[in-house]
Copies of this chain bind each other. A is one copy, B any other.
Amino acid sequence: MHLANRGHHVIGVDNFSRRKNVAEVGSWSATPIGTMDERLSAFKELHGTDIEFHEGDIREYHFVKGLLTRYKPDTIAHLGEQPCAPYSMIDVEHCVYTMTNNIVGTLNILYAMHESSPNTHLLKLGTLGEYGTPNIDIPEGFFEIEYRGRKDKLPFPRFAGSWYHWTKVHDTGNIMFACKIWSLRSTDIMQGVVYGTRTDDMIDDRLLTRFDFDEIWGTCINRYCAQAIIGHPLTPYGLGGQTRGFIALRDSIRCLTLATENPPDESEYRVFNQFDETYCVNDLAEKVQKVGKKRGYNVEVVHPDNPRVEAEEHYYNPDHENLYKLGFKPAFSIEKELEIVFKDLERFKDRIFAKKERIMPTVCWRK
């Protein structure tokens, strides 16, 4: 929507797996999501533009190749991966599904670019979680290193925290290699945790994005906001010192637009660490609590046992210069953005309440 409103010719592709996978675990989005036809019609009615759409699965090579041969797009904004850590940790079947879905989809795009559209810019969603939580600063993708008296510039070591996060590490290697051997161009986005209900283009509830809030599909801030709205205590896991980078959905879309409109050179593989600020989950719970109280909610915080295997107190300092150099400035403070989230969610309180049994964690990293 954002790109179409800026005058780009946009072609949407989806296999609707997200809807199915959220339904599978007995949950749904707080914001009701219409069919693709309804959403496209609403967009046309409200913004006056047709967005072309193709239903299909990027795990099928001929589908991907057909699209690239026909359209030779300037950019592929590849958001078509299974994006959920707990979902990937349910069992071997969900692990293997996540691995193959993500890796094969990306390989198919790389091959189709190579064979049919080698000038296309692949804008790929990775995750800041690829790096894990090392005890040293995290550069953007690569670092100059001295070791036993010799120097090189190498990919920064990755150590991810879920099968899902590892698929992004694996994609990173595969994309880097494809750019090298086939002179393709790609921006690999190491994105922080996204939060929020909207972008500026969502001028009607029919255009809202999903807002998942259950233990599996809800990211931490989204979960805390939904919890506050229905009077459920906020639930930072364990000690709560787990620190990550965060970015509002609105800003994420603006960053992806900047990368789209400022593509890399031929053969260039570049990495953007895409986040605004780092917070530990206790900080976030406190912020949600503060905004909630301002709006009249009584918000408590509890600390369930951590279902994940992760450091609960650690150093964390990732760089994020590249997007700022392209002109990125965050739109709002996190507290202002959280107020918008609260206002949006209040209309859908009943939908959150209906799934309140799906909020506390059941998927455990150890078992």
Measured CB to CB, the residues of A under 8 A from B are: 61, 91-93, 95-96, 99-100, 103-104, 107-108, 111, 134-137, 143, 145-148, 150-152, 154-161, 163, 166, 169-170, 173-174, 176-177, 180-182, 309, 315, 365-366
Residue of B nearest to A161 (CB): B177
Of B91, B152, B180, B366, which contacts A182 at CB under 8 A?
Answer: B366
Q: Are A160 and B181 in contact (CB under 8 A)?
A: no
A-B contact pairs, 18 of them (CB 8 A): A61-B96, A95-B107, A96-B108, A100-B100, A100-B104, A134-B152, A135-B151, A136-B145, A136-B147, A136-B151, A136-B152, A143-B147, A157-B157, A159-B176, A160-B173, A163-B174, A166-B174, A180-B309
Using Cβ atoms and an 8 Å threshold, which residues of chain B touch A309? 180-181
Using Cβ atoms and an 8 Å threshold, which residues of chain B touch A173? 158-160, 166, 169-170
State A92–B95 Cα separation when bound (angstroms): 23
Q: A158-B155, A166-B173 are in contact. Are A135 and B150 (CB under 8 A)?
A: yes
Residue of B nearest to A142 (CB): B157
Q: Are A148 and B156 in contact (CB under 8 A)?
A: no
Using Cβ atoms and an 8 Å threshold, which residues of chain B touch A100? 100, 103-104
State A143–B136 Cα separation when bound (angstroms): 13
Q: Are B150 and A136 in contact (CB under 8 A)?
A: yes
Closest-CB distance, A242 to chain B (whole angstroms): 15
State A150–B138 Cα separation when bound (angstroms): 11
Q: A103-B99, A177-B166 are in contact. Are A154 and B159 (CB under 8 A)?
A: yes
Using Cβ atoms and an 8 Å threshold, which residues of chain B touch A155? 157-159
State A107–B157 Cα separation when bound (angstroms): 21
Closest-CB distance, A4 to chain B (whole angstroms): 30
State A366–B181 Cα separation when bound (angstroms): 6
Q: 5 nearest interchain CB pairs? A: A135-B152, A92-B111, A154-B157, A170-B170, A136-B147
State A360–B270 Cα separation when bound (angstroms): 36
Closest-CB distance, A66 to chain B (whole angstroms): 13
State A100–B357 Cα separation when bound (angstroms): 36
Closest-CB distance, A137 to chain B (whole angstroms): 5
State A156–B158 Cα separation when bound (angstroms): 9
In addition to A100-B104, A155-B157, A157-B157, 15 A-B residue pairs with Cβ atoms within 8 Å of each other are A61-B92, A61-B93, A96-B107, A103-B103, A135-B152, A136-B152, A136-B154, A154-B159, A155-B159, A159-B177, A160-B173, A163-B177, A166-B177, A169-B173, A180-B309
Q: Are B157 and A137 in contact (CB under 8 A)?
A: no
Q: Are A137 and B145 in contact (CB under 8 A)?
A: no
Using Cβ atoms and an 8 Å threshold, which residues of chain B touch A92? 61, 107-108, 111
Using Cβ atoms and an 8 Å threshold, which residues of chain B touch A99? 103-104, 107
State A155–B130 Cα separation when bound (angstroms): 13
Using Cβ atoms and an 8 Å threshold, which residues of chain B touch A315? 150
State A87–B366 Cα separation when bound (angstroms): 37
Using Cβ atoms and an 8 Å threshold, which residues of chain B touch A366? 181-182
Using Cβ atoms and an 8 Å threshold, which residues of chain B touch A166? 170, 173-174, 177
Using Cβ atoms and an 8 Å threshold, which residues of chain B touch A365? 181
Using Cβ atoms and an 8 Å threshold, which residues of chain B touch A160? 173, 177
Q: A61-B92, A100-B100 are in contact. Are A148 and B177 (CB under 8 A)?
A: no
